[in-house]
Structures are given as structure tokens and as C-alpha cells.
A and B are shown apart, each in its own frame.
Chain A
Amino acid sequence: MSHLRLLTSPPNQLAPDEGCLLAFQGELDYIYRTLRRLGASPSETDDLAQEIFLALHKCWTDYDPERPLRPYLFGIAFRISAAHRRRRYREVPFEIVEVGDPALGPEDALQTKQARALVLAALENIPLPRRAVLVMHDLDGVPVADIGSVFGIPRFTVYSRLRKARRELETSLRRLTNAIIR
């Protein structure tokens, strides 16, 4: 099967517009959730998702379809979220109003909704570069090496950010939980 090694992966032959839109549609849920995890409020997600689409479309011909799409999208989402935060010069206040998951029963939905709201609120207390590493690794399951290549940082830096972000998340979650119990 040596020919398999000879076969290269040229850019997608589908019309770029069509391929890009298909990929964007297919990953829209992930894009929205990533934006929320990176601090976008529900009212901002539409505009930011559109920015992501435009950025994806711009570099779609450079995307290697052999590579997983989500880390690639995350890199775009991170840069757009960071630029958005710089524009507004302030942290996003806690504003956790989630649309319920229609697939769940009322009690499960409430529990899930609370858990998600808790995680989003806790993530808000972690600086964006460390938060991005934590979300990619601990929520999206992206390997450390791939995270390093998405952000262009050494593997050691990824580990370092991950370790610190986990401590911050734990502290933040504990504080929020205690606040709710009191």
C-alpha cells in the first residue's frame, strides 16, 4: 500500500465557498459554545460567529482537511475573542442565561444548566490565554502538542498554563459553590 503514502492532500477540491459554509454550519454549535467559554455574552455570539466565518473563509484554502477542524476553529475563535475583549476594555460581567437543552428532562436540564452556568462563571475568572489552554485540553480533549501548534507556543508553556489554569478553575468553582450554598 505504498501508494497511500504518495497520495498528498491538496486543498479541498470543493468550491471553497461551499466547503467553508458546510464546515461552518456543521460546527456552529461548537463555535457558539467556544465563544461562550471564551467570555462572549449571548448577545455578542452572533456577531463574533460571523467574524469567525469570515476569518475561516479567508484562510479556507490553507486549511488541511486531514487535520481536525475544531482546534483550527478554536484558534480563530480565540484570536477573535481576544481582539473583541481588547476593543471593549473591560471584563464580561456574569451573565449566565442559557437556553435549555431540549433533549433533557426538566430536572436534568436544570442540573445541567446550573453546572454549565457554574463552569462558564468560573472560567471568567481565568485570564484568557490560560483559559484557552484549559478549555482546549480539559473540555475539548485536544492533546498538548496540538494546543502548542495552534497557539505557536512551546509545549512546556502549555503545561505551565494548564497547571495554573486548573488551580484557578478549582478555586473559582469552590468560591462560587460556597457562595451559592450560603
Chain B
Amino acid sequence: MNTRSPFSPKIRAVLDQERVIPPVAASQRARVIARARASLGAPVAATSAFSTSAPRTRWPAAAAAALVLSAAVGAAAYEIHARMDRDPVTPATAVAPVSRLTPSAPAPSPPSAEDGDLVPAPEPAVGAPRLPSAGSAREELRLLRQARAAVARNEFAVALVPITEHARRFRNGRLAEEREALRVKVLVGLGRTNEARRAASDFQKHFPRSVLLPTVSQMSVSGGNPD
């Protein structure tokens, strides 16, 4: 059965206007979130996160970025799978990239309080990085697959959940590079341009030779005006 819109051009134009979701007023948003948090009985994070409701797809590099990021995560998945098949317990010599987020380079600057960021950038590592097991590699991959699936649906806020989870559990994981690239993309998608730029800058510091670097830089530049 045909479900194409049977409406006249005039009605279609009116419906097009209604399709754009207007942002909730900041005061109302703060009130509702505070109420929701209170109902949980425990503070979770700052109130003003997601307070910017910019259009969700305004970056022109989205298609190219998606392609590159997909390829990168796919390649990483293949590598993990191949390693798991060969050697369930990864030897120390095979995990040099693990220390990529714990170099002597300056640690990423923490998000300012006014950002109210619910997605903290990875903190500097304490102690030696742990060797990832096959199970944790699978788990890393699962989280990033969730994030990518949400990004593909333009559900950037949803994508932040597995990204945050990955950063919390696998701060220096094998897929940390892909995670941080995805983080930039998600922040751009959410219109949180300043945070996206900061994340892109941190990415450049930690992964100066990453193949994703041009895409990440382009994403943060094309993200629009500062929020």
C-alpha cells in the first residue's frame, strides 16, 4: 500500500514546519531535569547538559566522516577478532597502542563547569595500562557498535551513552581512538560546537598520527558557530 503523503503542496509545507522540533525553554528544561533527577534520589550530573538544541544534522562532512569512521571501527573490529582467534590472551608486546592515551603529553583540559558536560573526556591514566582480554575487546566493540548505530540514526544523545560507558570502562582501550573520533562527531551533531572543538583538539594531541585526524578536524571546523 502506498504511504506517500497524499497532501497538497500547501499542507505539505505546513507539515514540514511542524516536523522541526522546537527547543524547550532553558528554564523549563532545567526544572524538568531537576525533577527527574530528584525522583531518582541521587545526583547524576550537571543540569545544563544538552541544553543546546541545535539542528541535528548541520555538518556537511557527515557522509564522509561516517564512511571513514565506519571503516576505522570496522578495521579495528577485524583486528581484534583476528587477534582473539590467534591468541586469546594478548601478549604485552602486542598492545603498544594501549598507552596512547597515557603519554607525557598534557592531559586534556577538563570541561568547564558552565558546559555541564555529562560526557567527561578521559582522565589521565593512573598506573600502568591493563592488558585487554578477549572479553573486554568484545565489550569495547559492542559499545562502539551501539554508538555507531545511534549515530547512524542521528540519535546523538543516545550515542553518548555507550561512548561515556566506553570511556569509563576502557579509558585507554584498543578502540579509544575511534571512540574519541565518534565523540567529536556526536558533539558536533548535538550542536555543542565548543565542546566538539575541545574534543577534536584533545584528539589531535593524543593521536597526532591518526588516519582519522583530517576527518575529525574537518568535523569540528564545519560544526557551525560556537555555541
Contact = CB atoms under 8 A, between A and B. Distances in A.
Interface string B66-82: 00000000100110010
Contacts of A46: 28, 31-32, 35
A97 to B, nearest CB: 13
A98 B24 CA distance: 10
Nearest to A101: B22
Contacts of A50: 32, 35-36, 39
A178 interface: no
Q: Is the interface of B mostly helix, strand, loop or mixed?
A: helix
B125 interface: no
Interface string A80-118: 000000000000000000110111000000011001101
B157 interface: yes
B57 to A, nearest CB: 13
A7 B145 contact: yes
Interface residues of B, number: 64
A151 interface: no
B36 A69 contact: no
Interface in A46-62: 46, 49-50, 53-54, 57
25 contacts: A9-B142, A13-B165, A17-B44, A19-B161, A22-B118, A23-B158, A23-B161, A24-B33, A25-B118, A26-B160, A28-B24, A29-B23, A32-B24, A54-B39, A65-B149, A69-B158, A115-B17, A118-B14, A119-B15, A120-B18, A138-B5, A162-B3, A166-B5, A166-B6, A166-B7
State the 8 A-B residue pairs at the shortest beta-carbon distance, nearest first: A26-B157, A115-B17, A119-B18, A14-B165, A53-B36, A25-B50, A3-B81, A115-B14
